[in-house]
């Protein structure tokens, strides 16, 4: 099973690495890092990832994972990611996104007529692209799965493992990852975070 992890400048590392850890360790999976060119790609916080193939070379994949990140605007403007998604999505078994990666799916026309989720800070932007935006952490609609912000990519990947290989495999994967979130603060969403923290986050994310 070929799983294509989509790379572009300014993506968020955890959007990529969270799903990668859950999916790439499945024995049936061959993981590919695919980008516009073979040059290393820098994430928004500085981590550098080296592609293993390019958009021109990889013409099909069973599963597509599109991370988000502060570089989503540049990726939208560049158009290379969306163009590749239009080519490979029709034959893929699953097409997925994490965080603002949903906006790239929308630009490619993959979310037309579908419900989807994304990072809470860009719900309006996703809605402006004609998408029925939901606040769920993971939304499954046919062969398309979208996840909310950043850490929700792990939830998305575990959901996908369950859909492909069954609940027991997903539970095994969760246990091996020791994915048992018990955060020290209740500030993981705009509904639970203090108002001043939400305001600061909106300002910082707006600048990005």
Active centre residues (catalytic): 99
What are the φ and ψ backbone dihedral angles of 54, each rounded to 5 degrees? -120, 170
**Count of other CB atoms within 10 angstroms of residue 163:** 15
SS3 190: coil
For residues 62 and 3, the answer to whether their CB atoms sit within 8 Å is: yes
Question: What count of Cα atoms within 13 Å lies in the side-chain half-sphere of residue 5?
Answer: 26
Distance CA 105, CA 83 (A): 10
Segment holding 146, helix H or strand E: strand 144-147
């Amino acid at each position: 099973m070929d799983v294509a992890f989509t790379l572009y400048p300014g993506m968020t590392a955890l959007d990529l690495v969270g799903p990668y850890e859950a999916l790439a360790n499945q024995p049936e999976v061959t993981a590919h890092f695919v980008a516009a060119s073979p040059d290393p790609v820098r994430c928004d916080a500085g981590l550098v990832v080296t592609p293993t193939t390019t958009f021109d070379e990889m013409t099909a994949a069973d599963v597509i994972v599109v991370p988000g990140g502060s570089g989503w605007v540049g990726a939208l403007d560049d158009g290379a990611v969306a163009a590749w998604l239009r080519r490979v999505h029709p034959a893929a078994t699953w097409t997925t996104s994490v965080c603002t990666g949903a906006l790239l799916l929308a630009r490619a026309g993959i979310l037309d007529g579908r419900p989807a989720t994304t990072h809470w800070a860009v719900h309006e932007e996703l809605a402006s692209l004609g998408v029925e935006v939901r606040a769920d952490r993971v939304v499954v609609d046919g062969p398309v799965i979208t996840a909310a912000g950043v850490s929700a990519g792990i939830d998305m990947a575990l959901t996908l493992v369950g859909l492909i290989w069954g609940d027991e495999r997903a539970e095994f994967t969760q246990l091996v990852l020791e994915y048992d979130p018990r955060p020290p603060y209740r500030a993981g969403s705009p509904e639970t975070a203090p108002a001043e923290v939400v305001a600061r986050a909106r300002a910082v994310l707006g600048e990005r």
